[in-house]
Amino acid sequence: MFLTYIKQSFVIATVVVFSACGNSNKPAADEKNPAAAAAAPDSSVSAQKQTILFFGNSLTAGYGLDDPSTQAFPALIQDKIDSLKLPYKTVNAGLSGETSADGKNRIGWILKQKVDVFVLELGANDGLRGIPVKETIKNLQAIIDTVKLRSPAAKLVILGMQVPPNMGKDYTTQFKAIFPQLAAKNNMALVPFLLDGVGGIPALNQRDGIHPTAEGDKIVAANIWKVLQRVLQP
């Protein structure tokens, strides 16, 4: 929370707008410091394992969860990977409130570390703010281009999002099309809808109606795993 106004209600409203000020994770379960890992890529652990970088907003960060470092979907995917004894470690680079434009700006900083699998989860905040679809496409493409440039070998995954139906049919349709379009163009694996089976179900969402609960995140992780496992074990 950074913006205040004399009305408390305004402050609360602002928090929602900015999707800020909540519990957030420390990146990934056992990974306290991704940049440190990047700075020391030869350390024993990271030398053996490949890095899956989840680059996204509050959904990735696990906004509002009691303990994002174990409950957000990147951590759940890590659990899955560990149970299958696959040589991957996940890094949670989610940042609450991030739009595609913010992400475009941040990607350089994040790519200081080695990336083997890049999972892109951005756009939802653009949609909630009614930012023109072509603007979101442009920014996401710029992020993908940067990843391709800096880590040419990285496998790419994009997580599809939808905006709630109250935004109107035209916009929701156009918005939904962003992700298959980018996936096809950039040869990325596509999770058709990240919140499939979670979005719109009150019991699986937090009070704000946007962010999944810990239970909801399990379904989200399963949605991702369906696609991600084919990327990790071709």
Partner 1 sequence: MSPGWLFKMALRDSRKNRSRLLLFISSVIFGIAALVAIYSFGYDLQKNINDQAAELIGADLAISSGNPIDKKLQPLIDSLGDRKSMQQSFASMALFPKSNGTRLVNVRALQGAFPYYGSLETTPVQAASTFRTGQQALVDATLMLQFNAVVGDSIKIGDISFKIAGVLNKAPGQTGISSSVAPVVYIPLQYMPQTGLAKTGSRIEYSYFYKYDKPVDMTALVKSIGPRLEKDDIRYETVAMRKENTGRFFGDLTRFLSLVGFIALLLGCVGVASAMQVYIKEKISSIAIMRCLGVTGTKAFLIYLIQIICIGFVGSVIGAFAGSFIQTVLPLVMKDFLPFEIKTTISWLAIGQGIALGIIISILFALLPLLSIRKISPLFTLRMSYEQVNTAKDPLRWLVYLLIIAFIAGFTFLQLQSIAGSLFFTLGLLAAFFVLTVVAWLLMWFVRLLVRNSWSYIARQGFANLYRPNNQTIILIVSIGLSTAFICTLFFVQDILTKQLIISGSANQSNMILFDIQTSQEKALAGVTRQYGLPVIQQVPIITVHIDEINGKTKAEAEKDTTFRPRRWIYNSELRVTYRDSLTSSEKITRGKWIGRAGPPGALVPVSLDERFAQGNNIQIGDTIVFNVQGTDVATRVASFRSVEWNRVQTNFRCVFPAGVLEDAPQFHVLLTRVPSKELSVKYQQAVVRQFPNVSIIDLALVLAILDELLSKIGYVIHFMAAFSIITGLVVLIASVRISKYQRIQESVLLRTLGATRRQILAITSLEYFFLGSLSALTGIVIAVIGSWLLAKYSFHLPYVVNAIPAVITFVAIAVLTVVIGLLNSNGILNKPPLEVLRKDV
How deeply is 170 buried, as exposed, middle or buried, from its count of CB atoms within 10 A (0-12, 13-18, 19+)?
exposed
List the 88-94 sheet strands across, edge first. 88-94, 50-56, 117-121, 155-159, 189-191
Instruction: Determine the interface stretch with partner 1 among 1-9, 144-152, 177-185, 217-225 (rule: CB under 8 A).
Output: 1-9
Residue 124, C-beta contacts closer than 8 angstroms, at least 6 positions apart: 57, 59, 161, 163, 210
Residue type for 38, please?
Answer: A
Q: Which is nearer to partner 1, 133 or 191 (CB)?
A: 133
Closest distance of CB 98 from partner 1, Å: 8
Q: Which is nearer to partner 1, 110 or 220 (CB)?
A: 110
Q: Which is nearer to partner 1, 13 or 84 (CB)?
A: 13
Closest distance of CB 128 from partner 1, Å: 7
Catalytic residue chosen out of the listed positions 19, 100, 126, 211? 211
Does 123 participate in binding partner 1 (rule CB under 8 A)? no
From the list 156, 210, 219, 232, which residue makes contact with partner 1 (rule: CB under 8 A)?
Answer: 210
Q: How many CA atoms, within 13 angstroms, populate the side-chain half-sphere of residue 135?
A: 13
What is the C-alpha separation between 124 and 98, in angstroms, rounded? 9
- Contact 87/49 with Cβ under 8 angstroms? yes
Catalytic residue chosen out of the listed positions 58, 96, 100, 151? 58
Q: Which is nearer to partner 1, 184 or 201 (CB)?
A: 201
- Contact 155/147 with Cβ under 8 angstroms? no
Does 202 participate in binding partner 1 (rule CB under 8 A)? yes
Site pattern 154..183 for partner 1 (x: CB under 8 A): --------x-xxxxxxxx------------
Does 12 participate in binding partner 1 (rule CB under 8 A)? yes
Instruction: Determine the interface stretch with partner 1 among 77-85, 90-98, 115-123, 182-190 (rule: CB under 8 A).
Output: 90-98
Catalytic residue chosen out of the listed positions 30, 66, 79, 208? 208
**Which strand (E) or helix (H) includes residue 93?**
strand 88-94
- The token pair at 213 is 């609960």
Site pattern 40..69 for partner 1 (x: CB under 8 A): ---------------------x-x--xxx-
Q: What's the Rg (C-alpha) of the chain?
A: 17
